[in-house]
């Protein structure tokens, strides 16, 4: 095989790009260092200069994957040009859409198989944790403004995160019939989560029609 002439400084990024592209259509379990070698026409020794093992490659993929996930979710939660309720709604959909569009990457990031690697890289106890930290901050913003009831923001974030992750997992790994009623299921879940988190006698401000229709301020 004729070896391709890659610039040394770009080779690691090239390997990572190939690996992430591979799992768009194939399971991460089928990803080997040989795949990188075959795709680039480089030697195994060239790969080992950048990734000493398959786990080292997986670690880099997880880091890059969480960066992508964070760009998908966190900016929505931090966008204060939108109402807080809208941000919650849109960010939740963003999380699930990320899973639908990137099922193998989502499994890599949140599945059990590589949890030992993930836990060395991220922790939801860290305020900078991809996505989760932005959700926790948004909840605290809602508490300060009186929209959400006073409670432990960490526990509230876990409840919301767990619900979203459950629906995302159903969409990519569970009952495919859920796809047919996804919008209705998501809206019902969002309504339930919001109703359980709202402060009493709150007037919601939202551009989402169903929210204003179903969750009216409570009477005195």
Quick one: which of 5, 31, 7, 37 has its CA closest to 19? 31
Per-residue pLDDT reduced to its tens digit, 120-139: 888 777 767 778 999 999 99
Q: Identify the domain containing residue 3 by its residue range.
A: 1-52
pLDDT band at 3 (very low <50, low <70, confident <90, very high): very low
When mean pLDDT is compared across 32-36, 81-85, 185-189, 201-205, the lowest value belongs to 201-205
Average pLDDT, the chain: 86
Q: Which residue has the tokens 């508490």?
A: 143
Q: What is the pTM of this model?
A: 0.84
Total domains, the chain = 2
Helices 54-78 and 103-110 pack at an angle, to 10 degrees, of 100
User: How large is the average pLDDT for residues 153-176?
Assistant: 91
Same domain, 46 and 79: no
Q: What is the pLDDT of residue 204?
A: 62
Beta strands (DSSP E) in the chain are none
Q: What CATH number is attached to the domain comprising 188?
A: 1.10.357.10
Q: What is the pLDDT of residue 9?
A: 53
Q: What is the pLDDT of residue 216?
A: 46
Same domain, 43 and 142: no
């Amino acid at each position: 095989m004729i070896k391709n002439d890659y610039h040394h400084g770009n080779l690691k990024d090239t390997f990572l790009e190939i690996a992430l592209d591979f799992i768009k259509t194939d399971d991460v379990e089928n990803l080997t260092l040989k795949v990188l070698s075959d795709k680039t026409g480089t030697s195994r020794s060239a790969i080992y200069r950048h990734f000493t093992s398959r786990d080292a490659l997986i670690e880099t993929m997880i880091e890059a994957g969480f960066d992508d996930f964070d760009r998908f979710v966190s900016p929505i939660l931090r966008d204060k040009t939108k109402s807080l309720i809208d941000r919650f709604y849109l960010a939740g959909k963003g999380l699930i859409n990320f899973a639908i569009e990137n099922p193998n990457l989502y499994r890599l990031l949140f599945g059990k198989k590589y949890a030992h690697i993930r836990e060395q890289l991220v922790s939801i106890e860290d305020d900078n944790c991809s996505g989760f930290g932005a959700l926790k901050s948004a909840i605290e913003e809602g508490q300060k403004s009186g929209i959400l009831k006073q409670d432990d923001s960490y526990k509230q974030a876990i409840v919301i995160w767990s619900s979203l992750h459950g629906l995302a997992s159903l969409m990519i790994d569970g009952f495919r019939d859920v796809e047919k009623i996804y919008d209705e299921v998501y809206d019902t879940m969002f309504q339930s989560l919001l109703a359980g988190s709202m402060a009493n006698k709150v007037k919601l401000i939202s551009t989402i029609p169903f929210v204003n229709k179903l969750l009216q301020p409570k009477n005195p």
